[in-house]
Amino acid sequence: MLPLIALLAMSASTNPPAPLAPIPAPRQLAWHKLETYAFVHFGPNTFTGEEWGHGNEHESVFDPKHLDCRQWVHTFKKAGLAGVMITAKHHDGFCLWPSKFSTHTVAQSHWKNGKGDVLKELSKACKAEGLKFGVYLSPWDRNHPTYGTPAYNDTFKHMLREVLTNYGDVFEVWFDGANGEGPNGKRQVYDWPGFIQVVRECQPNAVIFSDAGPDIRWVGNEEGHSAPTCWATIDRDRYVPGTPLSAELTEGKRDGTHWVPAECDVSIRPGWFHRDSEDAKVKSPEKLLEIWEESVGQNGNLILNVPPNHEGLISHPDVEALLGWKNLRDVIYGHDLAKGAKAKADASRDGFDAQGIVDGKEATYWAAPDNVTKAAIVFDLPRSATFDRVELDEQIALGQRIAQFRIEAEAGGVWKTIGEGTTVGHRRIVRVPVTTANRIRISILDSRACPTLSRFALYNSAQR
């Protein structure tokens, strides 16, 4: 199969815009399309009530008597999530698989008489339901006796190889930058280049997350949102895992040197691990929708933590919230009020006219001629529509370009501004006042190079 950028080049008889570096690698483009997926914090903390375990918890504390990864994955699929990321090893060092390189694992627990393997069960469930499988491994280890010595870096690489070679395809590897003391009171100097090399060797199609990437960056908060200005690019070499520059990661940088888009993490509960006492504090479907609009709708991906309980199941309040959220997304964002619109731009590249924005085809798009960084596109709707959400998407395979735009609606022959913004990227959703119109104008006011748009859509949040 040809990569998307090759298909884009073939989508017209004339030359498409030259890619504007930096551009996403194929694995990053695939990641953008996932948009929303689950995080699963699970381990001894589920049973002790801790957020960060101490590493001295007895292995017998881990005993999810009714563990059912199929229930997790079925729930996530019904909620419209694209994959699952699990804390294969958190800071306490407990391994959810029977690692040969630790004595603090499921093999030493009472669960399934030491014969269990959470990663095996979850990866099989993901494969059966068609969801992606990802793994979180914290390099901090508050249990392992070699932590704080050069030998531990090799140990961690061995653990990585176990996880990345025994459970099928992995779509993302999540590295935490936390670096505290181990059982010997020492801190570890992490071999990040070596850790990254192991991932590249074992799972070349997986994206790697950390504060510094190299593929995906932390958004700078744990509230699940990016910012109205969100570039997919940063000066990557300025950052390291655990960087003190986290505030800069939220917006990225307009002329950043590397494509390292933002991933927005948040928990459905106040804590990252399950506590029965928080059952009444699960985020509502409406709050989840707001978070989604401010992450996926602001050029980020959303990773939503939904922690299983001590029985090994996703609790009923979480299931209800997830399904209610999915229903809201379906009702509001499943009905594009701009479908069937006619589009015309005041400046178009030969073979890339504005109708490519609304034809529903991934490989077609509008592009302005070279050296044109300002343009306007008018959309004539097939009928008058009432809406309060506007979506714009760029053709990011060619780089992120748009830096400022304005949204106008025509009423009585007069154009009125109803919204504006800065970046677009993979997906941008703009909340606007409730508006009824049959003509909309999008003006690109600033762009790093000739702008592109691949999608325009209108939605009404009152449809719920």
Residue 410: beta bridge partners?
415
Mean predicted lDDT score pLDDT of the chain = 95
In contact, 272 and 241? CB cutoff 8 Å: no
Amino acid symbol at 211: D
* Phi, psi angles (nearest 5°) of residue 4: -55, -40
Tokens of 115: 């014969």
CATH code, residues 342-459: 2.60.120.260
pLDDT of res. 9:
47
Q: Is the pLDDT of residue 252 over 50?
A: yes
Residue 194: beta bridge partners?
none
Q: 203: buried, middle or exposed (CB in 10 Å: 19+, 13-18, 0-12)?
A: buried
Q: Is the pLDDT of residue 40 over 80?
A: yes
Average pLDDT over residues 418-427: 98
In contact, 404 and 417? CB cutoff 8 Å: no
pLDDT of res. 1:
41
| 35-333 against 342-459: fold identical | no
In contact, 53 and 91? CB cutoff 8 Å: yes
What secondary structure, in 3-state letters, does the chain show? CCCHHHHHHHCCCCCCCCCCCCCCCHHHHHHHHHCEEEEECCCCHHHHCCCCCCCCCCHHHCCCCCCCHHHHHHHHHHCCCCEEEEEEECCCCCECCCCCCCCCEHHHCCHHHHCCCHHHHHHHHHHHHCCEEEEEECCCCCCCCCCCCHHHHHHHHHHHHHHHHCCCCCCEEEECCCCCCCCCCCCCCCCHHHHHHHHHHHCCCCEEEECCCCCEEECCCCCCCCCCCCCCEECHHHCCCCCCCHHHHHHCCCCCCEECCEEEEEECCCCCCCCHHHHHHCCCHHHHHHHHHCCCCECEEEEEECCCCCCCCCCHHHHHHHHHHHHHHHHHHCCCCCCCCEEEECCCECCECHHHHCCCCCCCCEECCCCCCCEEEEEEEEEEEEEEEEEEECCHHHCCCEEEEEEEEEECCEEEEEEEECCCCCCEEEEEEEEEEEEEEEEEEEECCCCEECEEEEECCCCC
| pLDDT single digits (tens) 171-230 | 999 999 899 999 999 999 999 999 999 999 999 999 999 988 999 999 999 999 999 999
pLDDT of res. 8:
52
pLDDT of res. 2:
43
CATH fold, domain 35-333, is: TIM Barrel (3.20.20)
Confidence band of 318 (pLDDT split at 50, 70, 90) = very high
Amino acid symbol at 196: I
pTM above 0.75, yes or no: yes
The gap from C-alpha 442 to its chain's centroid, in whole angstroms, comes to 27
Domain ranges of the chain: 35-333, 342-459
Q: Is the pLDDT of residue 464 over 80?
A: no
**Cβ–Cβ contacts within 10 Å for residue 325, how many?**
25
Confidence band of 360 (pLDDT split at 50, 70, 90) = very high
| pLDDT single digits (tens) 164-184 | 999 999 999 999 989 999 999
